[in-house]
Amino acid sequence: MRGLRPTTLGVIGLGAIGGSLARQARRAGIATILGWSPEPAERAAAARDGVVDDAPGSAAAVAERAELLVLAGPPAANLELLTRLAPHLPVGGLATDVGSVKRAIVTQAATLGLGTRFAGSHPMAGTHEHGFAASRTDLFRGVVVYVTPAPGGTAAAREVAHFWESVLEAQAVIMDAALHDAQVTFTSQVPQIVSSLLGHFLATRTPPGATLGPGARDTTRLAASNPSLWTEILLMNRDLLLPALRSLEEPLGELERALETGDAQAVHAWLARAADWRREIER
């Protein structure tokens, strides 16, 4: 491998993320792409579409031939797969995953003796659609991908970052796993919970036949996300997430008090802080 443009790429999980990764790697000219999914229909579809060159019946058969192995399942499944497939990785082979919580899998890689050959990845891209049918050839183009080294894996992280940039046209950012998990607590997981909370509220309070305005539709978009996947994510990062959720009580209480007293200036200031922040990030 030169700058980690692998001759043979292995992708474990051929859903929207893994399937898109394989499609884009194929388009970029990766010579051999191997894929596995627990769903036989997805393996067959990927082979039929020419996205993978081979879709064997076991994940181990992919791992043992891959110069770079990408675990593209849900977070808990990736932890189990890493443990199961570690003995099958070829000498010099590298591995990464695409989960959105990084501390657990980076620690697991170190425990398995893969610290120098593993770096986690978290592409800031996704879709509400599921399965191989939702995969596409441009999902990662231009998106930020966080790459989190395992202990002793700085060189591996650089190689994985180069793969994302040179093959998948993403923008790689190397970051400590703990810092990554703290950051996405606020930028991804709390927004998901707030959107789902509003969905709960509207589901029980919206009169029958009422039309949702664009504000309600925009703010509840994330509520349509996969509940099984997000259950794993929230539980895996709960030690950081719980204090963040409790911190929401203060600004909500501030607004409640302003409304109770009819304090127009305080209400305006409360709204203006958020408005100013939102306009600033658009610049």
List the chain pLDDT tens, one digit each, 283 residues: 446 688 999 999 999 999 999 999 999 999 999 999 999 999 999 999 999 999 999 999 999 999 999 999 999 999 999 999 999 999 999 999 999 999 999 999 999 999 999 999 999 987 777 889 889 999 999 999 999 999 999 999 999 999 999 999 999 999 999 999 999 999 999 999 999 999 999 999 998 888 899 999 999 999 999 999 999 999 999 999 999 999 999 999 999 999 999 999 999 999 999 999 999 998 8
CATH number of the domain located at residue range(s) 177-240 in this protein:
1.10.3660.10
> Using an 8 Å Cβ cutoff, are 52 and 46 in contact?
yes
Q: CA-based angle 248:205:268, to the nearest 5?
A: 45
Give the CATH number of domain 8-175; options: 1.20.210.10, 3.40.50.720, 3.30.70.20, 3.30.1490.20. 3.40.50.720
Judge whether 137 and 20 are in contact, CB under 8 Å: yes
Tell me the two tokens of residue 139: 């999902």
* Cβ atoms 195, 219 nearer than 8 A: yes
* Strand 144-149 with 119-123, pairing: antiparallel
Chain centroid to CA 51 = 21
Residue 263 CA to residue 259 CA, distance in Å, equals 6
pTM to 2 decimal places: 0.90
